[in-house]
Amino acid sequence: MSGPLSGRVCIVTGASRGIGKGIALQLGEAGATVYITGRGLSPSGDVKVGGTLQSTAEEIESRGGKCIPVQCDHGNDEDVNKLFERVKTEQNGRLDVLVNNAYSGVTAIAESVKAGNTFWEEEDGMWDTINKVGLRGHYIAAVHAARLMVPAKQGLIINVSSPGGLMHFATIPYCIGKSGCDRMASECAIDLRKHNIAYVSLWPGAVRTEHVLSFGKGNEDQSADDKASKMMKRMIETGETPEFAGKAVVHLAADPNIMKKSGKIVHTTWVANEHGYSDVDGRHHINPFSIKYMLNLSGHTWLAGVTPEFIRFPGWMVAAMYHHF
């Protein structure tokens, strides 16, 4: 299949559903050979929202792409080692893009938020539940990816992160993990720059994943008059599809000036605005750092409608709001 990424080799971790699946679909559609990972090829009894590696692979193939599903637990170092050895063998040592997306803490986070737990009220294993496959797993995968990319003097590594790394949100282990993902990108980028390898942290907005939609249905009648609940509902209703992040990854991978972004946080809407594309359903997503977005989210839709999107909070101001010294 021809496309902007024809001939490229990519790995997307945690691609059975959600953002990982959306990224894998877009990479395959762009012509790349995509290795996707997940803990199982077939449905698991403990997953209530559906989605499997096999179904993702079949959808990529139906769009004309090439996909290799690989069963891999990113909390198991041996599994990860076997994954990269397989790619090295089958692709003659070539790896162009690694997307670190695998995550195992979604359900635990949702349950913690629902219960209103403080960090000391969590189970002792909460840290590992959230960050073993997430933060630690991303680092281990990045190490293996770099070993393939450095000899080739090219490559791109992306951590799927979120604004949770900047502010207090959901649970403490989640915030620390996302902050670590952002810092990982900036620090690893320093070592990789001389080898022409970029490392960025990608922030999607609110994404209408299977899990998010499922949680929304389960809580649609709760706190109907609560301001925060209304705001969350509005975020979900206007949220991105999982493939919007995939479009961002494709454009980042095809960007000849990607090294200018290395070490930085990149939001999906920024990439869309730079390259002039919409979501797969035709919607335009507003920059979450814009005044327009804040007004719309708070329910002042009439005022948001007449406010230009380019009026936004500068990045340094956002960062300064959450500095701790």
> Do residues 262 and 284 make contact, with C-beta atoms less than 8 angstroms apart?
no
- Phi then psi for residue 217, to 5 deg, are -65, -35
Task: Tell me the sheet residues that pair with 160.
Answer: 202
Annotated catalytic residue, options 35, 103, 174, 199: 174
H or E segment and range at residue 12: strand 9-12
174 is catalytic: yes
Q: How far apart are alpha carbons 255 and 35 in whole angstroms?
A: 21
End-to-end CA distance of the chain: 52
Which pairs with CB-CB distance under 8 Å and at least 24 residues apart come from 313-321? 313/289, 315/289, 318/166, 318/289, 319/166
Q: For 39-144, list the strands marked E by DSSP.
A: 66-71, 97-100
> Active-site residues: which are they?
174
